[in-house]
C-alpha cells in the first residue's frame, strides 16, 4: 500500500493524512487521532493500524508518509495492497465485527 491509499474507509482518510496528523499534532493517545477526519470512529477496522502508527510515533520510529508497505496490525495479517486491505475490511464487516459509517466507501462485491 502507498501513502495515498485509504486507511479509514468509513471516513475516507488516507495513510498520509493520518501519519501527517500524528507528526504535526503529536497526540497523547491513539484515540486522539479520531480528530483527523473521524478516522477510526466508524466500523473500527482501521483502529489497529492507527494504533500501530501511534505506537511508532511514541517509539520515535514513525516514518514520513512515503510510498511503502502498510505494515501489520496487531490482530490482522499484513495486507500487501489496497485491494487486499479492502477485502479484509469487507470480511471483517460481513462477519459482523463492525458497521460502516454512513457515507463509507462501499464494500467490494462478495466472492
CA 40/CA 75 separation, integer angstroms: 15
Residue from 44, 51, 52, 107 binding ligand FES (CB under 6 A): 44
CB of 56 to ligand FES, least distance (A): 18
Contact 11/44 with Cβ under 8 angstroms?
no
Q: CB-based contacts of 9: which residues, under 8 Å, 6+ apart?
A: 42, 43, 45, 46, 86, 89, 100, 104, 105
Q: Per rule CB under 6 A, is residue 18 in the interface with ligand FES?
A: no
Q: Per rule CB under 6 A, is residue 46 in the interface with ligand FES?
A: yes
Q: Per rule CB under 6 A, is residue 79 in the interface with ligand FES?
A: no
Choice between 12 and 62, CB closer to ligand FES: 12
Q: Which residue has the cell 464494500?
A: 107
Q: Per rule CB under 6 A, is residue 73 in the interface with ligand FES?
A: no
CB of 58 to ligand FES, least distance (A): 21
Q: Which residue has the cell 495513510?
A: 15
CB of 77 to ligand FES, least distance (A): 17
Amino acid at each position: 500500500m502507498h501513502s495515498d491509499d485509504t486507511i479509514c474507509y468509513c471516513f475516507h482518510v488516507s495513510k498520509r493524512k493520518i501519519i501527517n496528523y500524528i507528526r504535526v499534532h503529536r497526540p497523547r493517545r491513539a484515540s486522539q487521532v479520531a480528530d483527523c477526519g473521524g478516522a477510526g470512529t466508524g466500523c473500527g477496522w482501521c483502529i489497529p493500524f492507527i494504533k500501530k502508527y501511534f505506537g511508532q510515533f511514541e517509539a520515535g520510529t514513525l516514518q514520513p508518509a512515503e510510498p511503502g508497505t502498510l505494515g501489520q496490525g496487531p490482530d490482522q495479517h499484513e495486507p500487501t495492497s489496497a485491494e487486499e486491505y479492502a477485502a479484509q475490511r469487507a470480511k471483517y464487516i460481513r462477519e459482523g465485527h463492525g458497521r460502516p459509517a454512513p457515507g463509507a466507501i462501499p464494500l467490494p462485491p462478495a466472492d
